[in-house]
Structure 1
Amino acid sequence: MSEPTATTETTAATDTTQPTDTTEAIDYTRLFRLDGRRAVVVGAGSGIGRECALALAAHGAEVVCADRDVAAAQTTVDLGGGARALQLDVLDADAVARAARDLDADGGVDVLVFTAATNVRKRLLDYSGEEFDRVVALNLRASFELVRAFGAGMAARGRGSIVGFSSIRAVSVEPGQGVYAATKAGLVQLLRAAAVELGPSGVRVNAVAPGVVDTPLTAQIRAVPEWSEAYASKSALGRWSHAHELAGAVVYLASDASSFVTGSQLFVDGGWTAIDGRYTPPS
């Protein structure tokens, strides 16, 4: 019995890949703090993006609130959600690249969060090519341009966190959501690829996957009681989420609390994807 013990001790002593216990050096009270870091939140003018900007700023980040509607972005700033507003149309690849260059020249960006997306709720056979291109352009192509533009500067500086918003539709589809679901599944793989490629440069890339969220974009569903209740009952918590309930996941992924998390998709869906079907058998 003594020989295996001796061998194990020798291996551990000479294995330089063993993690070092640094518990005493870590100040856990600051684990989620973002002081001294600049975050860009794309889609900060309303909904989930606004709440993310507010949360990041509350944890000490200098937040640039970017949105196509600069007045809405300024409202977020005025609410305490950032240092300044930036007009940005993510469908304009040149504008995205220019914004990234300007911010890189002005100290760089440590955190990028983007939430912008659109949906045309139609069955596949009813979709037009123009509608398909419109959904793909915002949900996938614009994400590609954001990751490229801001990821380059992060990689050059050797640090950064990119957080994109996917959806439960990346893994769960219903009729009329096919193209949207395809773009969200594609986004997850795009972000995973970025995590693999940018990881050696110290850049982490992750996705947050919301369930059904009460925002202006889902007002159409909320306006139909039967539809709204069906969605609520699908989650384990039996309700819709609110935009502010997504902000904590973003703070986590932006901060050192998630320093070894990359290439992941964090579901904030109230247990939607944990449930198989809507029928509860009698006990």
Structure 2
Amino acid sequence: MTDYANLFRLDGKHVLVIGSGSGIGRESALALAAHGARVTCADRDLPAAEQTVAQGNGSQLVAYELDVLDDDAITRAVDELGDVDVLVFTAATNVRKRILDYTSEDFDRVVALNLRASFQLVRAFGKQMAERGSGSIIGFSSIRGTTVEPGQSVYAATKAGLVQLLRTAAAELGPSGVRVNAIAPGVVETPLTAQIKANQAWYDAYAQKGALGRWAGPEELAGAVVYLASDAASFVTGSVLAVDGGWTAVDGRFDPPN
């Protein structure tokens, strides 16, 4: 008999959350720990990761400094952290410019964090999971992997590329018992979207686009992370879970009369 009462429990699991110093990463780490996981809160900003630990159950969370742009640091993390049952990575950046204004340096900066670092993480921790015969990898795409607007070219390209990277990883690692999925958030109030929030017209326009007519708080993404990390999603792999308030489901431009 399946123990449905504990289907989302993560007791005994070691989860590594990268980007846990703020925003979605922080809330995900706290939610995973609340469901019984032992969580390593990794971030390039160690004091920020330590603040996340301070907000949760200290016995379940530990801070770890990790710069995912450093390949050697990722290799060290694999050795130092031991078995990782679940990998969650949320770190991303964006340079909002039109294509004709983009520089090669801008391009390299966005691709390096959003796509190349993700590739390196999947390779490093996916290998460990495949050898052990189990694991769950959760990466963060975006609505911009599906719908675009001016000024989002390279960011959108990396988020679409990440989906295909994770789908391929799901196909390759599935026979070894490793599940790989993406979450695609809509508009979420995080440090990455502070520029939009500072412009009331821009902020309101985004809020009105989705079916719910508002932005999400980062805590509203944590449930999706817990789900994909847990046995509740034991037959879910290669999927993109939209947590976007209906952004990609509705047109949003005009409410026609009856």
Between the aligned partners of 1:170 and 1:217, the Cα distance in structure 2 is 16
Q: Does 1:154 align with 2:129?
A: yes
Q: Does 1:40 align with 2:12?
A: no
Structure 1 residues 94-173: aligned runs within 5 Å? 94-104=72-82, 108-173=83-148
Detail structure 1 runs of 4+ shifted over 6 Å in the superposition: none
Higher relative contact order (CA 8 A, sep 6+): 2
Q: Does 1:50 align with 2:26?
A: yes
Between the aligned partners of 2:78 and 2:173, the Cα distance in structure 1 is 17
Which secondary structure does the structure 1 equivalent of 2:251 belong to? Answer: coil
Give the number of equivalent residue pairs. 256
2:170 to 181, 187, 195: 195
Between the aligned partners of 2:107 and 2:165, the Cα distance in structure 1 is 19
Q: Paired residue for 1:175? A: 150
User: How big is each residue's C-alpha offset from its partner over 1:57-85, in whole Å with a ceiling of 9 and x where there is no partner?
Assistant: 00000000000001110111111164211
Give the CA deviation at 1:237: 0.2
Between the aligned partners of 1:234 and 1:160, the Cα distance in structure 2 is 36
Give the CA deviation at 1:277: 4.6
Question: For structure 2, which runs of at least 5 residues remain unmatched after alignment?
Answer: none
Q: Paired residue for 2:218? A: 243
Identity %: 73
Q: Paired residue for 1:15? A: none
Between the aligned partners of 1:164 and 1:204, the Cα distance in structure 2 is 11
Between the aligned partners of 1:202 and 1:97, the Cα distance in structure 2 is 22
When the two chains are superposed, the root-mean-square deviation of aligned CA atoms in Å is 0.8
Which secondary structure does the structure 2 equivalent of 1:241 belong to? Answer: coil
Query: Bigger radius of gyration, 1 or 2?
Result: 1
Which secondary structure does the structure 1 equivalent of 2:114 belong to? Answer: helix
User: How big is each residue's C-alpha offset from its partner over 1:222-272, in whole Å with a ceiling of 9 and x where there is no partner?
Assistant: 111110000000000000000000000000000000000000000000000
Normalization by structure 2: what TM-score?
0.98
